[in-house]
Amino acid sequence: MVTKLDQEPKKEERSFVEPLLRGLRKRCPCCGEGALFYKYLKLNERCASCGTEIGVIRADDMPAYLTIVLVGHIIVPLAMILENRYAPPTWVHLSIWLPMIVVMTLCFLPAIKGATIGLMWRLGIRGDER
């Protein structure tokens, strides 16, 4: 069975940056027009605009790992600066950083998953190879 993913241009003919940026915008990595997700993190089976089969690409845990790294590298230095300058009680730290972690994670995760899907599409991998 030949899928649209297999029919895409050869890797050498496609840019790395363009599908990655389209994924960050949560758009189809092929055309940039169709929506990548139909729910928060659920991929559409096919692009409504160009018909590219994107539902077969599995990003698995990579977006979660990248989100943890990104959020951690933003929150930890800020928390350390606050602690070193003002030494507030623990409840202040918890009331500031926990909501920020939740909001940042929920905002970054779909975009990072989209970028991961875009990169995987560009490389021609599905994520189910063993």
pTM of the model: 0.86
- Residues 105, 49: Cα–Cα separation, whole Å: 29
Interior angle at CA 28, CA 12 and CA 38, nearest 5: 150
pLDDT in tens, 108-117: 999 999 999 9
Place of tokens 């926990």: 98
- The pLDDT score that the predictor gives to residue 130 is 61
Sign of CA dihedral 57, 69, 38, 16: negative
| pLDDT tens-digit readout, 24-74 | 999 999 999 999 999 999 999 999 999 999 999 999 999 999 999 999 999
Kindly tell me if the per-residue pLDDT of 90 is higher than 80.
yes
- Residue-wise pLDDT tens digits, 2-13: 455 555 545 455
Using the Cα atoms of residue 71, residue 74, residue 78 and residue 80 in order, give the sign of their dihedral.
positive
Higher pLDDT pick, 111 / 14: 111
User: Residue 37: beta bridge partners?
Assistant: 43
Q: Collect all residues with Cβ–Cβ distance below 8 Å to 31 and sequence separation of at least 6.
A: 47, 49, 50, 52
In DSSP terms, 35 is beta-bridged to 27
Tokens of 95: 């009331």
Q: Provide the sign of the torsion angle of the four alpha carbons 31, 32, 33, 34, taken in this order.
A: positive
Query: What is the rounded average pLDDT of the residues 16-26?
Result: 94
